[in-house]
């Protein structure tokens, strides 16, 4: 056992507390320290009473110099903008960084500043950060020092599209992604729009044509197939806590049968423990992955229109954030990819 010493920045957010849920039982983690800029010196269980008697830890203020010496890995689960400013101060030979925010994902700082309306991280840092879509970038992740953990929508979308995009099977500008998310994706900060009373019995569309995950998805798709054109991408808020579904419509660049497509997906993901391709004719619901690190995918060619419909679901806090971060942590250190994650079966019902 290696017994790693872990730091979590942004422990009071939902991504942070989900990291704690996983890492506190991870066999290779010997200690965990929690950092925050909002409830310093409080007991963590006073902020999250579900951890009463489970977690004895206090919350610490963020002091990057000190953290650099104390930890083997830092997970950054802070809002966008914070990672860009903190990460440079954390860099060191002896530390690995897994950033859950959007700050290190876009290689082009101009794109970041355009879509996030914030100052980008230093260009060198952006170049060194490896995009942590575990199933797709495995080789790079294993060699990386800094991981840009993918966004929740991009994870669901890219896992659904990678097999056909990598095989250049998609017609250039035909990708339409209708994405739907549970409300926990909006974070813990309260607002009228995400209050129980306004969200229950409600279904909303938001950030139409301007969601910051658009350039992230396009960057990764183009990396697989430079011919991929701009995507249509919309995001909806669903009256549920956890879960993302991406319903994707594409036109194929060459004729494929449903059987060929099923084979392609099944082969592509056959050794990937966290991607489950549903059998032909079957589609997943978000509750099938609740609380787990799975991404479930279903697909069906429409003979009437020639379009392919692909559906993928994840738990936005797990495979869409903390779960994939731990999966990447496992890859970074050469552990079994499923360590600390496999026993977290979907909680159903």
Rounded Cα–Cα distance for residues 185 and 286 (Å): 14
Which of 19/84 has CB closer to its own copies? 19
Q: Minimum CB separation from its own copies for residue 332, in Å?
A: 22
CA dihedral 16, 20, 26, 28 (to 10 degrees): 70
Which of 88/229 has CB closer to its own copies? 229
Q: Which of 102, 197, 114, 185 is nearest to 149 (CA)?
A: 102
Q: Minimum CB separation from its own copies for residue 65, in Å?
A: 32
3-state secondary structure 59-97: EECCCHHHHHHHCCEEEECCCCCHHHHHHHHHCCCCCEE
Which of 168/305 has CB closer to its own copies? 305
Rounded Cα–Cα distance for residues 25 and 182 (Å): 26
Which of 71/278 has CB closer to its own copies? 278
The pairing of strands 146-148 and 73-76 is: unpaired
Which of 124/259 has CB closer to its own copies? 259
CA dihedral 112, 117, 121, 123 (to 10 degrees): 40
Query: Which stretch of DSSP H or E encloses residue 242?
Result: none
CA dihedral 144, 341, 274, 249 (to 10 degrees): -90
Q: Minimum CB separation from its own copies for residue 202, in Å?
A: 4
Q: Minimum CB separation from its own copies for residue 251, in Å?
A: 10
Which of 61/239 has CB closer to its own copies? 239
The residues with which 76 forms a beta bridge, in sequence order, are 9, 99
Catalytic site positions: 152
The pairing of strands 295-301 and 307-314 is: antiparallel
Q: Minimum CB separation from its own copies for residue 313, in Å?
A: 8
Q: Minimum CB separation from its own copies for residue 96, in Å?
A: 24
Q: Cβ distance 112 to 118 under 8 Å?
A: yes
Centre a 10 Å sphere on the Cβ of residue 309 and count the other Cβ atoms it contains.
15
């Amino acid at each position: 056992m290696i017994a790693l010493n872990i730091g979590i920045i942004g422990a009071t957010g939902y991504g942070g507390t989900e990291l704690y849920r996983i890492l506190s039982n991870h066999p290779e983690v010997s200690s965990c320290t929690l950092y925050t800029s909002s409830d310093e010196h409080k007991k963590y269980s006073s902020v999250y009473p579900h951890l009463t008697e489970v977690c004895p830890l206090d919350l610490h203020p963020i002091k990057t110099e000190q953290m650099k010496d104390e930890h083997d890995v830092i997970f950054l689960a802070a809002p966008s903008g914070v990672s860009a400013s903190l990460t440079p101060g954390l860099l060191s030979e002896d530390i690995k960084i897994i950033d859950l925010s959007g700050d290190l994902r876009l290689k082009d700082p101009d794109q970041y500043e355009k879509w996030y309306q914030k100052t980008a991280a230093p260009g060198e840092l952006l170049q060194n950060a490896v995009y942590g879509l575990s199933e797709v970038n495995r080789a790079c992740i294993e060699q990386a020092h800094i991981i840009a953990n993918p966004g929740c929508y991009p994870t669901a979308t890219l896992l659904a599209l990678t097999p056909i995009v990598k095989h250049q099977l998609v017609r250039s500008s035909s990708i339409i992604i209708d994405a739907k998310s549970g409300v926990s994706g909006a974070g813990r900060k309260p607002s009228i729009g995400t209050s129980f009373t306004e969200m229950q019995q409600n279904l909303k569309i938001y950030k139409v044509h301007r969601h910051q995950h658009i350039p992230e998805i396009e960057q990764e798709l183009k990396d697989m197939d430079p011919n991929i054109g701009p995507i249509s991408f919309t995001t909806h808020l669903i009256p549920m806590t956890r879960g993302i579904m991406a319903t994707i419509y594409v036109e194929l660049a060459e004729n494929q049968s449903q059987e060929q497509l099923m084979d392609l997906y099944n082969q592509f993901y056959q050794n990937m423990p966290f991607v489950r391709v549903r059998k032909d004719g079957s589609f997943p619901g978000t509750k099938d992955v609740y609380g787990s690190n799975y991404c479930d995918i279903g697909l069906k060619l429409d003979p009437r229109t020639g379009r392919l419909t692909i559906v993928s679901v994840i738990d936005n806090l797990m495979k869409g954030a903390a779960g994939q971060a731990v999966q990447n942590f496992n890859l970074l250190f050469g552990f079994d990819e499923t360590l600390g994650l496999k026993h977290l079966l979907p909680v159903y019902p």
